Amino acid sequence: MLINGKLMEKPEKIEIFNPSNNNIIDTIPLGNRQDTKKAIKAANIALKTMKNLPSRQISEKLYEISEDIKKNSKIFAKLITLDCGKPIKESKEEVKRSIQTIILSAEESKRIYGETIPLDACFGGENLVGFTSKVPLGVIGAITPFNYPLNLVIHKIMPAIAAKNTVVLKPSIQAPLAALKLAEIMNIYLDPGVINVITGFGNEVGDEIVKNNDVAKISFTGSVNTGLNISKNAGMKKLTLELGGNDPLIVLDDANIDEAVDAALRGSYLYSGQVCIGVKRIILDKRISNEFKDKFVNATVKLKVGDPINLDTDIGPLINEKAAITIEKKVNHALKDGAELLCGGKREGAYYYPTVLENVNTNMEIVQEETFGPVAPLINVNGFEEAIEVANNTKYGLQASIFTNDINKALKATKLLEAGSIIINKQSTYRADNMPFGGCKMSGLGKEGIKYAIEDMTKTKLVIFNPI
Ligand code: NAD
């Protein structure tokens, strides 16, 4: 763990398993409430110097950190794969994106502006001068999930630092190794207390970060249930909640089917479906559903399931065997309720084979709840209106995608679909690290994407000057 610039061990340990073979690969310190309080205190003290650092210097430090991570790219990719079972080719992509996210933060740190306010537009303001500046918010509490253990951590701590805040991070204990390696590197470049990392359980370390009055904001990514719990406990803190999703991919009868099949394949099975913006429901116009189904199932059975450390592996294990059993139960439940298995439906330890289901109805749990696994339910509909109705029939609203060559329907869909982003002719599983990202409904509150995260990690301070 990292508290006030000191890397520290603890006698109490948590064992970290490689999900592909269940071997113990490392142990990490089991942090507690006291450690978390110390970290928050250190972050508060560090704010005093951080606030006064020129943004040029902060930007330079972030560039240096990005260079160091680049030098260690191979180590980071391997750590991600061993720790969370992500296929190595996807881990390499995550590391590349993480470096880019830091560079975006380094650039954005020099563009934090206020504005002038035309006070003379209101009675009594005739001679006044008004302007705002953006000032740091304070200590940012960052709490992250297991599935993008490097880039999602970076999406919180780098904008926070770019805006001259300090951070206490609690990474997921299901996949903490990349965050701990990152902390080691950041500690070389930043003053003590600017970044602190505590590993431990959500209901102790996470709970302390959420409730502690010296934390100004919680930036959380994770499940809806944890997000709801955090919003109940956070009191007067700013909140960003990036929560679960149930993204639809609609294919209309005028769409390019091959493109749609390719997109559905990438969207449904990326990191074994353990992606918040994974395609979770495929909604097909009846007129093209047979063609789509045949091509999609043919492509699904060709995916290579295997050890995620091998470069040609498409599908690795889920994060642990318990997660795979949950998926197995959900699929079996749907089959009992009348769904039909077109391929997959098999579990071996933490591995679950890519699975396509049809005859799925919109009330089934597999369609209503977020399924965090490689399962693609096909839902047939009669035309555009029904497709939109089915797509919106969920409590989630993260991203949504539609395949069509009809510009009118595409534009109409952008108005009607209830989601944070609407993507036309590409799977919802797309995120550029500078775009405003975040859902509506139960998928969360607020936006990330460097510029947008920074906006939420600063306070607007107004100055009124009466020249006499
Ligand atoms: P999770 O909610 O189980 O855990 C996330 C983090 O919260 C972990 O660090 C955990 O220790 C911590 N936590 C648990 N209980 C807590 C508490 N009481 N107080 C404070 N912190 C607590 O999520 P997960 O299983 O790690 O991740 C998967 C979920 O994350 C999925 O639902 C997925 O859709 C979502 N997710 C969302 C996005 C997004 O940007 N919208 C991105 C990735 C993942």
Instruction: Give the pLDDT confidence score for residue 323 in this predicted structure.
Output: 98
Most informative mutation of 83, 169, 221, 442 for ligand 1 (most atoms within 8 A of CB):
221
For 21-54, write each residue's pLDDT tens digit.
999 999 999 999 999 999 999 999 999 999 999 9
Question: Same domain for 350 and 391?
Answer: yes
Question: Does residue 447 sit within a domain?
Answer: no
Question: Does residue 443 sit within a domain?
Answer: no
pLDDT interval class at 435 (50, 70, 90): very high
Q: 276 catalytic, yes or no?
A: yes
Question: Same domain for 304 and 419?
Answer: yes
Distance from C-alpha of 107 to C-alpha of 99, rounded to nearest angstrom? 13
Question: Same domain for 287 and 158?
Answer: no
Instruction: Please check whether residue 375 is in contact with residue 366, taking contact to mean a CB–CB distance below 8 angstroms.
Output: yes
Question: Same domain for 398 and 283?
Answer: yes
- Using alpha carbons, select from 69, 371, 9, 26 the residue that is nearest to residue 175: 26
Tell me, what CATH number does 316's domain have?
A: 3.40.309.10
Instruction: Give the pLDDT confidence score for residue 264 in this predicted structure.
Output: 98
Distance from C-alpha of 399 to C-alpha of 148, rounded to nearest angstrom? 17
Token pair, residue 383, equals 């035309």
14 strand-pairing partners: 28
**Based on the number of CB atoms within 10 Å of its own CB, is 279 exposed (0-12), middle (13-18) or buried (19 or more)?**
buried
Counting the structural domains of the chain, the total is: 2
Question: Does residue 395 sit within a domain?
Answer: yes
Ligand 1 atom at minimal distance to the Cα of residue 233: 19
- Using alpha carbons, select from 111, 1, 3 the residue that is nearest to residue 55: 111
Instruction: Please check whether residue 15 is in contact with residue 173, taking contact to mean a CB–CB distance below 8 angstroms.
Output: no
Instruction: Give the pLDDT confidence score for residue 116 in this predicted structure.
Output: 98
Question: Does residue 427 sit within a domain?
Answer: yes
pLDDT, the chain, mean: 98
Distance from C-alpha of 226 to C-alpha of 10, rounded to nearest angstrom? 26
Question: Same domain for 201 and 252?
Answer: no
Q: Is the CB of 125 inside a 6 Å radius of any atom of ligand 1? A: no
Tell me, what CATH number does 68's domain have?
A: 3.40.605.10
For 8-24, write each residue's pLDDT tens digit.
999 999 999 999 999 99
Question: Catalytic residue among 108, 242, 321, 370, which?
Answer: 242
Q: 39 alpha carbon to ligand 1 midpoint, in Å? A: 21
For 108-165, write each residue's pLDDT tens digit.
999 999 999 999 999 999 999 999 999 999 999 999 999 999 999 999 999 999 999 9
336 strand-pairing partners: none
Question: Does residue 444 sit within a domain?
Answer: no
Question: Same domain for 229 and 258?
Answer: no
**Based on the number of CB atoms within 10 Å of its own CB, is 298 exposed (0-12), middle (13-18) or buried (19 or more)?**
exposed
Question: Same domain for 279 and 346?
Answer: yes
Q: 242 catalytic, yes or no?
A: yes
Question: Does residue 336 sit within a domain?
Answer: yes
For 84-110, write each residue's pLDDT tens digit.
999 999 999 999 999 999 999 999 999
How many beta carbons lie within 10 A of that of residue 111, not counting itself?
12
Instruction: Give the pLDDT confidence score for residue 65 in this predicted structure.
Output: 98
Token pair, residue 312, equals 């040609």
For 299-320, write each residue's pLDDT tens digit.
999 999 999 999 999 999 999 9
What's the domain range around 148?
A: 2-243+457-465
Question: Same domain for 118 and 254?
Answer: no
pTM of full prediction above 0.85: yes
Question: Same domain for 155 and 220?
Answer: yes
Question: Same domain for 238 and 262?
Answer: no
Does residue 206 sit in helix, strand or coil?
helix
Question: Same domain for 157 and 43?
Answer: yes
Instruction: Please check whether residue 434 is in contact with residue 451, taking contact to mean a CB–CB distance below 8 angstroms.
Output: yes
Question: Same domain for 169 and 278?
Answer: no
Distance from C-alpha of 429 to C-alpha of 270, rounded to nearest angstrom? 8
Longest pairwise C-alpha distance within the chain: 80
